[in-house]
Amino acid sequence: MQFGHKDLLGLKELTADEIRYILHSAETMKYILMQNAKKTPHLQGKSIVTLFYENSTRTRMSFELASKYMSASAANITASGSSVQKGESLLDTVRTLDRMGTDVIIMRHPMSGAPHLAAKHAKSAIVNAGDGMNEHPTQALLDLFTIQEKKGRIEGLKVAICGDIKHSRVARSNIYGLTKLGAEVAVGGPSTLMPAEIEQLGCKAYNSVQEALIDADVVMGLRMQLERQKKGLIPSAREYARFFGIDERRMKYAKPDAILLHPGPVNRGMELTTGVMEHDGCFIDEQVTNGVAVRMAVLNILTRKGGQVEYSH
Ligand code: CP
């Protein structure tokens, strides 16, 4: 089997075997990451650039650290500190980076489809680090990795994704990835934050968090994407927390050994209470660590263009 993609744009485009291969490769990277000397020669001679048109802590920093741990040259550009401010277009920016010899451009953009457009014109591999309300594939890969690590499997599990489904690229990528790997997915949240067509992606939708949580093995809270919401979609933060937030009482609807995940950053007290975040089954910190391992695996796979995939299952 080969990983037949120049870019990583979304989990919609990947087969179940390709997703499994990245997860398998991330296991090796996690082992490296756990050593005292976190340095490998995998990306020696490669240049990796993060190009972010939106804010980020986890994604941008984990890609930067992943690049450095693997001996690549790593650089960062943000829209606010670049010639984007002078009106340079996305394609001209990507073309400029290409000409400097970049091998991978990791891109976050508020417009859905922006990385797909860049990928059509770029020589460098493009990694989608979140595009509008479309996809955030490396977030979903690290979520899948964490589920597999904590539950030992993904197939046959029930995963409840709760909150602002409508504006969440994390939800969309997770629905693609989880259903391809054989999980049952329930989404729960207010009707104003639930897209009408969401069940077409293969999940079951509920306008109540409790109903979505029933017998779940994995509970995934989502950040309220306030920057993408029009006014009036939720009455207030306090009422959202009361009717749709995940607290200890609501977690009781899930299985007793259910794990709790959240992509971060968390609006504490709104999506999740501090109480559930301190519970033994909450693995938000582990998600952050696994994000570095998964991004190391993605960079390694994309820079070994046409390389044989060793994974078999
Ligand atoms: N989960 C996530 O994408 O976080 P950042 O916005 O901090 O990268």
- In this predicted model, what pLDDT tens digit does every residue of 135-149 receive, in sequence order? 999 999 999 999 999
Question: C-alpha angle 54/58/53, rounded to 5°?
Answer: 15
pLDDT at 80: 87
* Ligand 1 centroid from CA 69, angstroms: 20
d(CA 4, CA 99) in angstroms, rounded, equals 24
Longest dimension (CA), the chain: 55
What tens digit of pLDDT does each residue of 245-300 get? 999 999 999 999 999 999 999 999 999 999 999 999 999 999 999 999 999 999 99
What tens digit of pLDDT does each residue of 176-230 get? 999 999 999 999 999 999 999 999 999 999 999 999 999 999 999 999 877 766 6
**Full set of structural domains in the chain with CATH:** 16-134+288-306 (3.40.50.1370), 137-287 (3.40.50.1370)
Nearest atom in ligand 1 to the alpha carbon of residue 59 is: 8
SS (H, E, C) the chain: CECCCCCECCCCCCCHHHHHHHHHHHHHHHHHHCCCCCCCCCCCCCEEEEEECCCCCHHHHHHHHHHHHCCCEEEEEEHHHCHHHHCCCHHHHHHHHHHCCCCEEEEEECCCCHHHHHHHHCCCEEEEEEECCCECHHHHHHHHHHHHHHHCCCCCCEEEEECCCCCCHHHHHHHHHHHHCCCEEEEECCHHHCCCCHHHHCCEEECCHHHHHCCCCEEEECCCCHHHCCCCCCCCHHHHHHHHCECHHHHCCCCCCCEEECCCCCCECCCECHHHHCCCCECHHHHHHHHHHHHHHHHHHHHCCCCECCCCC
Q: Is the pLDDT of residue 306 over 60?
A: no
Q: Is the pLDDT of residue 161 over 80?
A: yes
pLDDT at 308: 42
Interval 110-127 mean pLDDT: 97
Nearest atom in ligand 1 to the alpha carbon of residue 223 is: 1
Give the residue with greater pLDDT, 307 vs 64: 64
Interval 109-122 mean pLDDT: 97
* Ligand 1 centroid from CA 271, angstroms: 15
- Going by CA atoms, what residue is nearest to atom 6 of ligand 1? 56
- Going by CA atoms, what residue is nearest to atom 4 of ligand 1? 58
Count Cα atoms within 13 angstroms, Cβ side, for 145: 32
Q: Is the pLDDT of residue 239 over 60?
A: yes
Q: Which of 50, 58, 63, 266 to mutate to test the pocket of ligand 1 (most atoms within 8 A of CB)?
A: 58
pLDDT at 1: 62
Interval 228-252 mean pLDDT: 86
Q: Which of 139, 173, 271 to mutate to test the pocket of ligand 1 (most atoms within 8 A of CB)?
A: 139
Is 288 a pocket residue for ligand 1 (Cβ < 6 Å)? no
The residue behind tokens 């009408």 is: 196
* Ligand 1 centroid from CA 135, angstroms: 13
To the nearest whole number, what is the mean pLDDT of the chain? 94
pLDDT at 81: 84
**R_g (Cα) of the chain, nearest Å:** 19
